[in-house]
Structure 1
């Protein structure tokens, strides 16, 4: 499902700009494309001269046959140029007209030596054409795949530079579709178009030149259908264009729905939402089907339409060519060659029309990719030369809103001394997690200052800042690999002893000891072999191994049972020395021993103090506490 007003099914807006962007992407491959153009030109020239050579072979056969028939009106050895006059004198008008374009002498018969040479030249021309076409295609494929490689690399690098706000405002499935489906479509489109575009253009020019060389009359007959061809092509392209844009946008929307259905499978099953997801999938699938069907329907009409127009041109040329041969204006071989050219001429035109539709599909995908690549990035950073000496944290008059007109935090101030454990509590929507996001600079504050060790965090790079933090979220994330690998992810180069020590501190060693493969137990990215609480403990052990100066736990114990919660609290006590800790919790039993408890409501601090002090005040914290432990005695 699209979020925050994003419409992934919107049609493409500026295909010319998208195609210009693709041209820029191809610039590093210009030398390959240039060489491919040269060898493609060689291939086209070799293929274009083929029909002329074949026509010459037909004329040799035709002249040989006529030379034998001419014995009826002239003696052997008489030049064929004298046969028309002799044939007319003998009343053989038909023989006179046919002999007008004949070569050789009377009685010579077919010159098989000359015919063999012509056939050898034809075979050589077609072999050269095929070899050059293969080389050109290889170069184009290499250039296109290199471009696809760069596009994927650029998109991935771009995602790393995008602010979290952008990723939060776009469906993950749609972003994944741009990285995979759209890039694949662009590379396929480029490969098909570039490998055929040069060849088709050169064929049109070369074939047209040869047609004009052979007969301008037949050329006019063949070209009579061109205006009609352009009109049909333009009409079909205009009808297909918007559907290609909707097709690839709908692909992204469908990917988003599938991604949500898989990631939220348990929730969907729990609340009986399978039919809802099935209905959404069916709707998105129908939208994709309709867009794809319409796009392919109109683009698919090009081939039969061009074939029909090609046949019409062929009929016109055949009729006109027959009349020219009968009148002696053109040789039979020339007509044969021209008919081959007329048949070939509509083929590259049809190819160009088809490529135009493919380019529309590729341009729609390219526009979605370039929209992502052009998205605003995080501001450029300059590394601070100051070094953080202590782990104090101060918030000074912080104001922030996901929407600038609707602030979530209004005027927040807080000083945290090194080594303190600060618990942040409050009702849902109070701004607790938002506060941590601002501290980690996942989002940038609208106004105010956050200092770490007295240094403005805005003056640090994000890598500098985050190197001082370890963070455990409510939602666990495990990578495919062993339990050992998942814990070791917290610090590169960690030893086995370090990993086991972190596991022991988090209580992971106890359940790992019950597994047959121990720390070598393989986990999937969803951690299917572990319970929710065990997965959380692994992520806590990962944070322990990182040994950060500041530890953040955002509802980190929400998925563990009471006994495990006690183990985590004891581990936290051991880690508290010399380490600043922020704990966000709804379960107030986990933060009784915090040095400072900060109570937030509506983005502001309404109370702060120790557990007992806040209970004695009988304010906001006391109300929260009593709501959770109404039947318990402190």
Structure 2
């Protein structure tokens, strides 16, 4: 009972959302109004010729209706006219379909570009809250569903409406009384189709949402398939997949059921209308109200009049699915962008690397405070190591420094400039960042190394790879620097991917560095060589080093020890050991574990 009340209460909201979605679709169509008008004119032209053929057919019937009184000249003229009409109709329909395809695919292209551009502007908090599979589903699957419904609308809806209007006019011209039989009975079909479309929309909407959920889960499982198998989690993953798939199957079956009964139900109604017209027409012919040829034309018009209703009801059913999919895409596009930069935002030029963090508070979830009253002053060229237990806020500090998230109170300054008053691009390009989680695009090794400096020469790329100790393994690849990396770098080891990410930074030589477990996936011997390369790279550059292995940060100028969002200790490695505090416990426990 509660579900019925809830759905009833939400009905006006859903209708309002559908109207808004439809308005948005019309706004996307507006730039192609010229093509739409041309399509409408061609639609009217082809419909007029199509409806003219039954008139010609009726004349042909009348020309041979009398016994021994066949008018061959009139019959030949009729046949010639029919052939010309058919040829012109076919040509008009071909051009109209080409224009409709052009309109549809241009609108879909615009919408997909708009959705992808929105992804670039969304705050990371939104991306963190939504699975990548759901976002992919909105941009790919939902837009494809919208495309199918829109194309059907252009190809069948315009022609169907024009056919209905045209056949009514022709039937009224032949015999108004019999035409009224058709017109009076038609609303019954509309009422039936409207009832079915309302039922199918709710199912199509749930189908679209569940499809996004299934895409997200499948994407997640594929990304971690090795982990799933290593932990023997296949059965649990299969159960979760089956549960989501079962729900999707249920919604799809219900949506298909309601949409599939549309045509049989409306066809039954139209068969009743056709039978009524046939009976009325026969009595009319017997009483001399119309000729045999006119009756033939009238029956042909009745059939043509009912056929568009079938097409339109099919279009409306598909359009319900299209509308639900478009709504999900528009929800993504309507998400607020990351906070805009102020109009007077300055670009950061040649930063020295002086950083000041003052009374910063931040939390991902309001009810769970993370960073509280964080204060830090960094001189240019200093090496700052950040250590602490998992979840203490180390990576969060990096996110705040890069403005992936904005502080909720307090401020972060670079060279005396509040980073919220700097352009994000100039701030982020001033940092070189190597993360524990590597990211490589599907392109050549050369393109991946030059990602931050596309105009780099081959000599510069090779020099950077040598500094990162990646040159030797690159030269062992089938095409050397031109070897194409598969999606996600699956044809490379984790250590090789890490070396390429380090080479990317070696090429750019940014004024500030962030190394978040940058050597975590590299063997010990290579790590020693990379550490030496980093020593050279970090000279004169402000560097932030996040590390779990405390042996790698002993040479840092300042070590920040964090716990529960606070800096609980800071100093050099030796100073902190002498204090015998939190850092000393971490170091000694790790040393004991290592030995």
**TM-score normalised by the chain length of structure 1:** 0.88
* Comparing 36-45 and 230-239, the one that deviates more: 230-239
Match of 1:378 among 322, 338, 357: 338
2:450 matches 1:450:
no
2:417 matches 1:414:
no
Match of 1:192 among 147, 152, 175: 152
Match of 2:470 among 505, 508, 512: 508
Matches within 5 A, 1:290-369: 290-369=250-329
1:59 is aligned to: 62
How far apart are the structure 2 equivalents of 1:236 and 1:632? Answer: 69
2:44 is aligned to: 41
2:3 is aligned to: none
1:133 is displaced (CA, Å) by 2.1
How far apart are the structure 2 equivalents of 1:245 and 1:346? Answer: 29
1:609 is displaced (CA, Å) by 0.4
How far apart are the structure 2 equivalents of 1:299 and 1:476? Answer: 47
Q: Secondary structure at the match of 1:185?
A: helix
Match of 1:17 among 3, 16, 20: 20
Gaps of 5+ in 2: 1-9
1:516 is displaced (CA, Å) by 6.0
How far apart are the structure 2 equivalents of 1:631 and 1:367? Answer: 55
How far apart are the structure 2 equivalents of 1:483 and 1:15? Answer: 47
* Comparing 388-397 and 504-513, the one that deviates more: 504-513
1:147 is aligned to: 107
How far apart are the structure 2 equivalents of 1:566 and 1:523? Answer: 26
How far apart are the structure 1 equivalents of 2:557 and 2:283? Answer: 106
2:385 matches 1:423:
yes
Match of 1:267 among 210, 219, 227: 227
2:247 is aligned to: 287
Q: Give the aligned CA root-mean-square deviation in angstroms.
A: 1.9
The answer to whether the Cα contact below 8 Å between 2:514 and 2:545 also exists between their aligned partners in 1 is yes
How far apart are the structure 2 equivalents of 1:314 and 1:530? Answer: 69
1:518 is displaced (CA, Å) by 4.1
Match of 2:567 among 605, 617, 630: 605
2:178 is aligned to: 218
Gaps of 5+ in 1: 1-9, 69-108
Q: Secondary structure at the match of 2:412?
A: strand
* Comparing 436-445 and 129-138, the one that deviates more: 129-138
1:179 is displaced (CA, Å) by 0.7
- The structure whose Rg is larger is 1
The answer to whether the Cα contact below 8 Å between 1:388 and 1:455 also exists between their aligned partners in 2 is no
Match of 1:619 among 570, 577, 581: 581
Match of 2:428 among 466, 484, 509: 466
1:556-585 Cα deviation digits (max 9, x unpaired): 122122222211211111112111110001
1:100 is aligned to: none
How far apart are the structure 2 equivalents of 1:430 and 1:60? Answer: 95
1:147 is displaced (CA, Å) by 0.6
How far apart are the structure 1 equivalents of 2:437 and 2:178? Answer: 75
1:513 is displaced (CA, Å) by 5.1
1:417 is displaced (CA, Å) by 0.9
- Name the CA shift for 1:116/1:273 in 2 (closer, same or farther; >3 Å): same
The answer to whether the Cα contact below 8 Å between 2:112 and 2:143 also exists between their aligned partners in 1 is yes
Q: Secondary structure at the match of 1:225?
A: helix
How far apart are the structure 2 equivalents of 1:174 and 1:433? Answer: 25
2:522 matches 1:593:
no
How far apart are the structure 2 equivalents of 1:503 and 1:131? Answer: 61
1:156-190 Cα deviation digits (max 9, x unpaired): 11111111111111110010011111111111111
The answer to whether the Cα contact below 8 Å between 2:123 and 2:338 also exists between their aligned partners in 1 is yes
Q: Secondary structure at the match of 1:597?
A: strand
2:7 is aligned to: none
1:81 is aligned to: none
1:253 is displaced (CA, Å) by 1.0
The answer to whether the Cα contact below 8 Å between 2:513 and 2:542 also exists between their aligned partners in 1 is yes
2:4 is aligned to: none
* Comparing 333-342 and 489-498, the one that deviates more: 489-498
1:403 is aligned to: 365
2:437 matches 1:475:
yes
1:493 is displaced (CA, Å) by 1.9
* Comparing 250-259 and 607-616, the one that deviates more: 250-259
1:605 is displaced (CA, Å) by 0.8
Q: Secondary structure at the match of 1:526?
A: helix
Q: Secondary structure at the match of 1:523?
A: coil
1:33 is displaced (CA, Å) by 0.2
2:30 matches 1:31:
no
The answer to whether the Cα contact below 8 Å between 2:348 and 2:426 also exists between their aligned partners in 1 is no
How far apart are the structure 2 equivalents of 1:607 and 1:47? Answer: 86
How far apart are the structure 2 equivalents of 1:365 and 1:257? Answer: 19
1:474-499 Cα deviation digits (max 9, x unpaired): 11112233433322223222223322
The answer to whether the Cα contact below 8 Å between 1:193 and 1:358 also exists between their aligned partners in 2 is no
2:188 matches 1:228:
yes
1:168-213 Cα deviation digits (max 9, x unpaired): 1111001001111111111111111111111111111110111122
2:134 matches 1:174:
yes
1:499-540 Cα deviation digits (max 9, x unpaired): 222222222234345556544444323333432222212211
How far apart are the structure 1 equivalents of 2:159 and 2:483? Answer: 57
2:5 is aligned to: none
The answer to whether the Cα contact below 8 Å between 2:347 and 2:423 also exists between their aligned partners in 1 is no
The answer to whether the Cα contact below 8 Å between 2:351 and 2:511 also exists between their aligned partners in 1 is no
2:243 matches 1:240:
no
1:127 is displaced (CA, Å) by 2.5
Match of 1:203 among 163, 188, 192: 163
How far apart are the structure 2 equivalents of 1:224 and 1:543? Answer: 76
